[in-house]
Amino acid sequence: MTRLAINDALWGTSLALQCALLAVVFVRGLARRLPCFTVLLAFYPLRAVVLFVLFGHLATPDYAGLNDWLSLAGLLLQLVVAVEIGAKIFRVAARRWAAWVIPVAAWAGTMLLLAVLPARSPVPPDRLQMFCSLTMVLLWVWALVERAPRLVSSVAVGLAAYGVVDLMATGGKAAAAMHRDAQSFAAWSYASSVVYVGVVVFWIFALRSE
């Protein structure tokens, strides 16, 4: 199977599953309970469709710029979702001080990872992306410790799982780019996509019972 065929299959599968997840969220009435999370779930397939439709119709710099802006919007939405999930945990938490510790710890972790990752990689790590991933992991730990409601815990564990793999992929892609290892770079890129598809499948089953 060619790489193009793999990309098409992964894109189509991911889009179909994300639409199925959105249907579950609305049918189960979860959009009212987690509106920001719902917006994030809707944003990803919408972004994928927009980029697919416009591919080849925009100049390369314009298309790259649009992709960058949409990526930034996705990261900002992730931070909004982190606040939403954090607020849900905060209501039932005995250790409310963690709400202030988590962003500081995520920032410190981002700086530490930047210090150990290749400094001159052609594909430098995205600081905001790393901060988001670390925040999601720490939110899941907080939800686990505080025994947050099942809905919140299910969302948090999915975000954390993707966050862990995304952090690993960030480092892997930076190292692969520095050593000009195209196969390794592609493998790490696929790893992030495949894990997100797995997270979507997990959410479909986990949220159906809510």
pLDDT at 65: 92
Q: What value does the mean pLDDT of the chain take? A: 90
Q: DSSP for the chain?
A: --HHHHHHHHHHHHHHHHHHHHHHHHHTT-TTTSHHHHHHHHHHHHHHHHHHHHTTTS-HHHHHHHHHHHHHHHHHHHHHHHHHHHHHHHHH-S-TTHHHHHHHHHHHHHHHHHHHS-TT-SS---HHHHHHHHHHHHHHHHHHHHT--HHHHHHHHHHHHHHHHHHHHHHHHHHHHHTT-HHHHHHHHHHHHHHHHHHHHHHHHHHHT-
pLDDT tens by residue, 14-29: 999 999 999 999 999 9
Write out pLDDT tens, residues 86-132. Answer: 999 999 988 899 999 999 999 999 999 988 887 677 777 889 999 99
Q: Is the pLDDT of residue 1 over 70?
A: no
Predicted TM-score (pTM) above 0.85? yes
| Residue 152, pLDDT score | 95
Q: For residue 25, count other CB atoms closer than 10 A to its CB.
A: 23
Structure confidence by residue, pLDDT tens digits, 26-35: 999 999 999 9
132-187 pLDDT, tens digit per residue, is 999 999 999 999 999 999 999 999 999 999 999 999 888 888 877 777 877 888 78
